[in-house]
Structures are given as structure tokens and as C-alpha cells.
Amino acid sequence: MNKKILLKDLGNRDYKETWDYQEELFKSIIDLKIKNRREEAGQETPNHFLFVEHPHVYTLGKSGDMSNLLVDEAYLAEKQATFYKINRGGDITYHGPGQIVGYPILDLDNFFTDIHKYLRLLEDMIILTLAEYGIKGERSKGETGVWIDVGTPFVRKICAMGVRASRWVTMHGFALNVNTELGYFDLMIPCGIKGKAVTSLNVELGVKEVDTDEVKKKLLKHFSALFEAEFQLAYNKV
């Protein structure tokens, strides 16, 4: 079981370009697993973790409802935003500047074969990171992701999640609002859930900007502990 993870920070990168890169890594792991099974080769499968920040983009999961996007693509173009229907779970999500997006592309055979546990550990990573800033992140029953003030009229979402898995290999991941321009969420019904607001770390802390590199280091620390994993590269953008 290979618990080493290759870390890459892609910086600001186009959504489709990053999606294609994810697919390439995802397919290479699955192909190796198939080869191992056929040839009884027993080669270690790699694991990857990508950090990225996307230009304004809306993505709709495979079970999503197009009506949750409240404007047409012409209006999105005016807002310099793009739109993609993609192959993860979940409904509609926004990505944009000031948001930390993480894509763990793991062979869960190296860790545990339980998608429910995988999602809960991703949530735990976010909850533990928020706690370091004095913020109580929580789960909301039946709604994947991390929320604040669950069970009150002021409930708001700070981190969205959506994954795809095949042969226990994962792709897609989480989007944590750090310094995100929240007005872009007004153009959709976030995750298809009506009547719940969205927030970001800088808004919750009442500051203009939070150091995203510091947040990433905290996320990696908690991910490493929760998954008993070791990141192979130093924390550098590549």
C-alpha cells in the first residue's frame, strides 16, 4: 500500500485544462491497476494531490439540475465566466479567484475502500483547518461539504465537495472559500440547495484577505494525519 502522495500546486489554471490533466492522471492509475490484475505485476499505484485556483467557472455534476444556474451562458460571458457539465457527483458549483480547490487523485486501495469514509475525512480536514482560525465548521445532515451555524437561520456553506470514483480511484474534490468574491454565487442555487447562504474565510474572520498559502499548509497537515499519508514534494508551486 503506497501512502506517498505527489503534491502539485498548479497556481491559477483554466478549468478545462485542469480537468483534462485530472483525467489523464486518473486514467493512468486505473490502467496500471488493470495491468496489475491481468499480469499479476504488483506495481505500486501512485497518488496525486493537486491544488489549483480557477478563473470564474460554474460546473454542473452528472446528477445536477440545469435550472440551478440562474442565468444563461451569454450573461456568464459578460461576467467573464465559463460553464461545464462534468462527471463528478453533486449539483452546481462555482469556482473562482480567492478559492482553494483541491483535487486528490488517490487509489483508495492504498488507504481504505470506503467512499463514505473518504468524503467524511475530507470534511474533517476542512473542519480541523477552520478550527485553527477559531471557526466551528460542521456537517449538515444529508448535505456533503462543510457549513457554519448548522441548525440556525444563519446557516452558510464555506466548502463544497464533489467527487468521482472508479475502481477505487478518486478525482475532483473540494473547494474552500477563502477570499472568494461571493457575488458570483448569486447567479446559481449553490449545490441545488435553496435558502442557504455561502460564506468565505475572510468574511468570517472580518478581514480583507487571508494568506492562502498558510491555509494550504494547514490543509495538507490535516490531510496527512487523517489519511496517514506522506507528501512527496516540498510545498512548492510547479
> How far is Cα 99 from Cα 52, in angstroms, rounded to an integer?
9
72 carries a ligand binding annotation: no
93 carries a ligand binding annotation: yes
Contact (CB, 8 A) for 8 and 51: yes
21 carries a ligand binding annotation: no
149 carries a ligand binding annotation: no
Nine-digit cell string for 234: 516540498
188 carries a ligand binding annotation: no
206 carries a ligand binding annotation: no
Nine-digit cell string for 235: 510545498
Contact (CB, 8 A) for 17 and 95: no
> How far is Cα 46 from Cα 36, in angstroms, rounded to an integer?
13
Residue 165, SS3 per DSSP: strand
160 carries a ligand binding annotation: yes
Amino acid at the residue 23? E
DSSP type of residue 68 = G
126 carries a ligand binding annotation: no
92 carries a ligand binding annotation: yes
Contact (CB, 8 A) for 150 and 138: yes
Active site (catalytic) residues? 191
Integer Rg of the chain from CA? 18
90 carries a ligand binding annotation: yes
Binding residue ranges: 88-95, 160-162, 173-175
As annotated, the binding site for substrate includes 88-95, 160-162, 173-175
